[in-house]
Each structure stands twice: as C-alpha cells, then as structure tokens.
Amino acid sequence: MNEDRIYERAEISRDFEFNSEVAEVFENMLNRSVPFYDKVIDMTSDILSRFLNSRDIVYDLGSSTGTTLIKVSEKLSKMDLRYVGVDGSEAMIKKSRSRVKMFSHTSGIDFVLSDINDFETKDAGAVILNYTLQFLRPVIRESFLKKVHGFLREKGVLVMSEKVISHDPVINRAFIDFYINFKKSMGYSDLEIAKKREALENVLIPFSVSENIELLKKVGFVHVEPFFQWFNFVSILAVKG
Ligand SMILES: C[S@@+](CC[C@H](N)C(=O)[O-])C[C@H]1O[C@@H](n2cnc3c(N)ncnc32)[C@H](O)[C@@H]1O
C-alpha cells in the first residue's frame, strides 16, 4: 500500500481533488484519515447480510478504489449478490478495476465511471454512500437523496457514512481537536494536517448528524438509525418502507 505523503510539501494550495495522485495512495489515506474505517465496512456487511435477499444488487456510490465492495463481497461470499461501484473519478475507477482482478471472490463486482448525480438505477437491494454526500453541494443533497431512495426496492437499505459537525461551538472544537490528535497518532504532521484541512475547506461541507437524519426522513426513508459514531464521523442506516 503506497503511503500518503501528498501534504508533506508545504506549497500545495489548491482544492482537494480525487485525481491519480490521490488514487495511488487512497487506501493508506483513508485508513489514516477515517477513524474505524475498516470497522464501518464490517458493520456495513453485517447490515447487508441481515437486510438483503439472494440476487440483490448492492450499489456503492463514490466507490473510490473499490475497497468497500471488495471487503463486503468477501464477507458475504455465501450470499448470491451482485455489486456495482460508481465513481466520477477516472483514476479511481481505473484503480478499482485493476484491484478487483487481484482477488478471486470479486467476479460479481462491476465499476461504472459516472457522476453519481447522473447515475440511474432501480430495484436495488442496498446503496452504500460512505463519506461521499459531504462532497456534493449542500443545495442538491436533498434531491440527490430522493433519487437514491427511488433506486431502492421496497425494504431496501441505504448505509451512509459522513464526516459531521456539531452546531455547539465548544463540542465542535473538542471533536476537531480529537480528530487532529487521531491524525497525529496516524503519523501525519501538523503541517500535513493543516494543508489538508485548507484543501478540503471548500470541497468537503459537513452537515450535523441531525441535519443528515432529517434529510433522510424528508426524502422518504421510514426508519433512520445511526449505528456508529466516533466524534465527528457518523454511520447511519436508512430503510425504505
Ligand atoms: C471520500 S471518497 C469515498 C470513499 C469510499 N466510499 C470508501 O468508503 O472507501 C469520495 C469519492 O466520491 C467520488 N465523488 C465525489 N463526488 C462525486 C460525484 N459527484 N460523482 C461521482 N463520484 C463522486 C470521488 O471521486 C471519491 O472517489
């Protein structure tokens, strides 16, 4: 796994992009930047194993280098499921296609290069939307989630994970500090952390937990339950009625 050293160089001052430089180090970046990343994938598998039927299709919107689908399909190899990853970054799709070739259990996984706003499907058993809604412009999130709700069959599930904020400034500051400490413990320097924050500032716009839950209910999900939270990261299960 290539190590993420992108922000070691102090001169970087452009907005964060999911380009080939990022795709090359992305697994390392996620493991060191998203607390309990692997655990959330494990829990996603547990949820899918409970809610899906044989021959269901699972869509991963913002599938990046394919890690989630590779791990979920391995854990659920006894279920007869199909998987489709969708991502708008050519570099990510290229990387995910080459990665699935390295595993024997991944024959049911396909990747589609598309903006997730333009993607269409129906009768999905599940949609996974991990750490991706936060990159869509806030004004389009409601209509996008409404579309996702329409992708699902009756009783289909959405698993969504997001970075979040608290509207209480004291709690928010504390959670940010805990997150900075997490990144330091993962070997990122103060400079790397500061540069990455700057690069993400206009690109990653987090909502609060309750704003995300409200949106999911508003677009029609009947049951909406957070199943995991680490300070400013949350994972939510939403079930279509
Ligand atoms: C933080 S990553 C997602 C991580 C991934 N879900 C995981 O858990 O491993 C966000 C991904 O969403 C993709 N993305 C962001 N906006 C997109 C859009 N509008 N259409 C398609 N893909 C998009 C990026 O290319 C990137 O690969």
Could you tell which of 17, 18, 69, 200 is best to mutate to test the pocket of ligand 1, judged by most ligand atoms within 8 Å of the CB? Answer: 18
Least confident stretch, 18-27, 40-49, 57-66, 202-211: 18-27
Q: Which residues contact 107 (CB under 8 A, 6 or more apart)?
A: none
32 in Cβ contact with 58 (< 8 Å): no
pLDDT in tens, 138-149: 999 999 999 999
| Cα within 13 Å of Cα(140), Cβ side | 11
E strand map for the chain: 57-61, 82-87, 109-113, 124-130, 152-163, 221-230, 233-240
3-state SS assignment for residue 165 = coil
Average pLDDT along the chain: 94
| Model pLDDT for residues 8-33, shown as the tens digit of each residue | 665 666 778 888 888 888 898 899 99
Residue pair 152/238 in contact (Cβ under 8 Å)? The answer is no
d(C-alpha 194, C-alpha 77), whole Å = 41
67 CA distance to ligand 1 centroid (A)?
Answer: 12
> What is the average per-residue pLDDT within 151-173?
98
Ligand 1 contacts CB of residue 235 (under 6 A): no
What's the 129 CA to ligand 1 centre distance in angstroms? 9
C-alpha 87 to ligand 1 mean position (Å): 6
Ligand 1 contact via 44 beta carbon (within 6 Å): no
pLDDT in tens, 81-135: 999 999 999 999 999 999 999 986 778 999 999 999 999 999 999 999 999 999 9
33, 87, 145, best to mutate for ligand 1 pocket (most atoms within 8 Å of CB): 87
Global pTM?
0.95
What tokens does 108 get?
């049911």
Considering the domain 16-166+204-240 in this protein, what is its CATH number? 3.40.50.150
Alpha-carbon distances, residue 106 vs 69, 85, 111 (angstroms): 9, 12, 11
